[in-house]
Amino acid sequence: MHDGCSGSFDDGKQVVDKVRMMGFAEQFMPIPLTVNCGSCGAEFEMETFESKCTACGCVHAVTPCHAFDPANVASAGIGY
C-alpha cells in the first residue's frame, strides 16, 4: 500500500488507514493547512493528520511526508 515517502495510494481511504495505522491520526501537523473538502467543497482548517470537514463530516488525511501541501490531502468520505 505504501513504501516510505515514495509510496502511492489508490484512494483516500488507504491514506486514512495508513495514517491511523502509523498512529498519526490525532497528532498535530507541523503547519496547519487550509483545504477544500473533497465531498462538499467547503474550506476548513486541517490541524491534525486526520481531520473532518466542519461542514459535512467528510474525513480527510495526509501522510506526514506530504503534509506540506494541501494538494496531498485525500478525502475518504463522510463518516469513514
**Domain presence at residue 71:** yes
Whole-structure pTM value:
0.91
Number of domains, the chain: 1
pLDDT value, residue 3: 55
Beta strands 58-61 and 28-36 are unpaired
State pLDDT tens for residues 14-59.
999 999 999 999 999 999 999 999 999 999 999 999 999 999 999 9
| Residue 1 pLDDT > 80 | no
Domain span at residue 44 reads: 9-78
* Residue 34 falls inside a structural domain: yes
Residue 1 lies in a domain: no
Confidence (pLDDT) at 8 = 82
Per-residue model confidence (pLDDT) at position 52:
98
CB 54 within 8 A of CB 44: yes
- Residue 4 falls within a domain, yes or no? no
Domain-located, residue 39: yes
Looking at residue 6, its pLDDT comes to: 67
